[in-house]
Structure 1
């Protein structure tokens, strides 16, 4: 499969920046005994959209109207869908090098695909296969034995029970003893002592019941708005309701709607997002991790590497030392 989509050259100078690739192992030792859900952890929203396939069909979960438009006017519909589907420019290894430790993996099986080939999806499918990507993550972890990643496996478009079992078997085979079994959320020191580096959340209840290596789905606060101030109001409202008990994600990603797309035909998700990053980053820097009801945990964003987002999220952990 070919035709990988790339974003604009605004990210061309980012691929050598990896100052945060070992940030967990260089945290102050006092933070090694803080449970993961009380740390501040950077994440990427829709991690795999850097490799969407130009030739891919539209996801079967998209609206019937979009499916019809794509069949009738593919030369018009497809480019529009693609430019509003890409949320990341860095590949998964580059994101890990940049310091991302929560990966948002939307997994799907294409009806048109081969029996066991699983892809990622965000309106269209990726060129990357799930098994290859998990192997890439595992190889990165072997080079960084004191870093820990959270893999949020979700969506599961088109997956049968057999395909779920196949996917879980792949996860077990690829990560092996790196997997942290479900239980009380550990600290970094506990994970290091066990040689564990991977927490897999898996949003399929039947699979959870069969496999102790899988953790329940992680709540994701999604504002679903094109307006930055509306997104930040939503996040503040969620904070006022109290944080979940375990891992959770505050999403700083803006979301287009049909009205916005029609009113801005020459724009893209990237063009909509980048001018708003300074305001979003300012909000990030105001946050505080920890057990308090208004504390944050994972903070995820789009276009990782375009600004200081990852470093800002990591730096919040210093506030835990002020207590």
Structure 2
């Protein structure tokens, strides 16, 4: 193994093939824990297939006024909900091909659904089931045996304990031997040796009952609609120190009802694209590692746009001097 590590990629990490960037990292980074690498992620990963015909109530986490308007003026309000709920336009395989390795998966049961099917949601429910998407991820991993996906399950809506256990069994049945137990050291060398490709964090109390489930991954959410305020909040978080394991710096902006009403012809993508240049300058200045001011996963909306993924991958060059 050590003789292989002396070879590796000699150019800029920004030029790595995005569909296989982990396997092409320089050998000096193979023993660095994944929680100390810079990893691209997608916020609200599965919103590329929201159901345009969904007439379910807007989820409880949306603003109260919006939920009331949706209840009594659904034909008028629902198009606004839809275009401000889409955070990604590419499906999960396309995101994987683009280099995304962290996935923010928000799980829900449709109201009045008598089946055990679960869906994703962000204001609106998706047309595809959770099991379908997990199988797509598994198929992709099968064809990319040295890449690793970090799957974060959270924001559960309408799930009882029976459905939680059913979801966990689905996860186990889909990924089988690829599922990494929480006791395993997560550097690439070790994961490749053991054949593990899926790390699953689960934000529910049952996480302690399964060795295959990792603790919830902290997500630094600024809750701002302006890039400068978001950056200011993330810098404050960095000064307090980084968590000991995986964590996410979210560069996703938050729109509120006042902003939406004052920009009726826009969408969330319009807001995000207008702020990406400033956000990317902040990203370029970051460094991964284990120190207090370092970053790990950087997740955003519309992550296949504006070269965010290659920029995040290239941050790992900052680790090469001490890792070699």
TM norm structure 2: 0.92
How far apart, CA to CA, are the structure 2 residues paired with 1:90 and 1:297?
23
Partner residue, 1:129: 129
Partner residue, 1:216: 215
Deviates more, 1:52-61 or 1:39-48: 52-61
How far apart, CA to CA, are the structure 2 residues paired with 1:305 and 1:292?
28
Q: Report if aligned partners of 1:24, 1:146 keep a CA contact under 8 Å in 2.
A: yes
How far apart, CA to CA, are the structure 2 residues paired with 1:185 and 1:224?
33
1:43 to 34, 41, 44: 41
Q: Report if aligned partners of 2:238, 2:294 keep a CA contact under 8 Å in 1.
A: yes
> SS state of the match for residue 300, structure 1?
strand
User: Is 1:22 aligned with 2:20?
Assistant: yes
How far apart, CA to CA, are the structure 1 residues paired with 2:114 and 2:27?
48
Partner residue, 1:109: 109
> SS state of the match for residue 21, structure 1?
helix
> SS state of the match for residue 106, structure 2?
strand
RMSD: 1.4
Residues 244-288 of structure 1 deviation map (CA, whole Å, 9 limit, x = unaligned): 000000000111011111111111100111011111111111100
Deviates more, 1:97-106 or 1:268-277: 268-277
How far apart, CA to CA, are the structure 2 residues paired with 1:60 and 1:265?
21
Partner residue, 2:118: 118
The within-5 A match list for 1:71-82 is 71-82=71-82
Q: Report if aligned partners of 1:33, 1:189 keep a CA contact under 8 Å in 2.
A: yes
Q: Give the Å deviation of 1:64.
A: 4.7
User: Is 1:251 aligned with 2:250?
Assistant: yes
Q: Report if aligned partners of 2:58, 2:70 keep a CA contact under 8 Å in 1.
A: no
The within-5 A match list for 1:125-164 is 125-164=125-164
How far apart, CA to CA, are the structure 1 residues paired with 2:143 and 2:254?
35
Partner residue, 1:87: 87
Q: Report if aligned partners of 1:52, 1:126 keep a CA contact under 8 Å in 2.
A: yes
Q: Report if aligned partners of 1:109, 1:119 keep a CA contact under 8 Å in 2.
A: yes
Aligned length in residues: 306
Residues 133-180 of structure 1 deviation map (CA, whole Å, 9 limit, x = unaligned): 000000000000000000000011000110001100000000001011
Partner residue, 1:229: 228
TM norm structure 1: 0.92
Q: Report if aligned partners of 2:63, 2:257 keep a CA contact under 8 Å in 1.
A: no
How far apart, CA to CA, are the structure 1 residues paired with 2:48 and 2:38?
25
Partner residue, 2:192: 192
Partner residue, 1:269: 268
User: Is 1:241 aligned with 2:245?
Assistant: no
How far apart, CA to CA, are the structure 1 residues paired with 2:225 and 2:184?
37
> SS state of the match for residue 30, structure 2?
helix
Partner residue, 1:281: 280
The alpha-carbon distance between structure 1 residues 185 and 244, as it changes in their structure 2 partners (threshold 3 A), is farther
Q: Which runs of 5+ in 1 are unaligned?
A: 1-17
